Amino acid sequence: MAGVSLSFGSSFLLRIATESDFESLLALRIAAMRPSLESLGRFDPQRARERLRASFDPAATRVIVAEGQDIGFVAVKPVADSPQSCLLLDHLYLHPDWQGRQIGAQVLKQIIAEADQAGLPLQVGALRGSDSNRFYQRHGFVQSAESEWDIYYVRQPVPAVTDLSTI
């Protein structure tokens, strides 16, 4: 996640998070996840705070900014306890007002490109019953495991295509 920000035309940019972003990112996460968690009877703002606090790493987190406001965030980390090197897409949330505009898809494509360039599989977990399950499947993730509340996916890296005509 080199660089301070990455611009996607005039639609949005990504900037590295800071510790001071925690409260606003927590609010974004709660807004994005509340409907899915409520449908499962699992919405608990305190648990949401504790879970984000336990995994929050500003250096691994990029804030999605559009029209001068923070509208979401994405966090990608190396998986330390995996038998093979891989990356974990730990968070990808957009405020509900910004969903359905292809911003999440553009951010995910950027993350996938970075994982492919590094030659690393990308793992993600999604809340059972959440629309995010279809979102990840549409982007090449394959179910690898599940638990009582979550479904886990992995996307294997796709090597860059070499133009053999230039050799």
Q: Which domains does the chain have, with CATH numbers?
A: 5-166 (3.40.630.30)
Question: With contact defined as beta carbons under 8 Å apart, do 125 and 155 qualify?
Answer: no
Note the pLDDT of residue 79. 87
DSSP annotation of 141 = -
pTM given for the model: 0.85
Note the pLDDT of residue 129. 82
Distance CA 56, CA 90 (A): 9
Note the pLDDT of residue 10. 53
Residue ranges in the chain modelled with pLDDT below 70: 1-10, 81-83, 161-167
Rg of the chain over all Cα atoms, to the nearest angstrom: 16
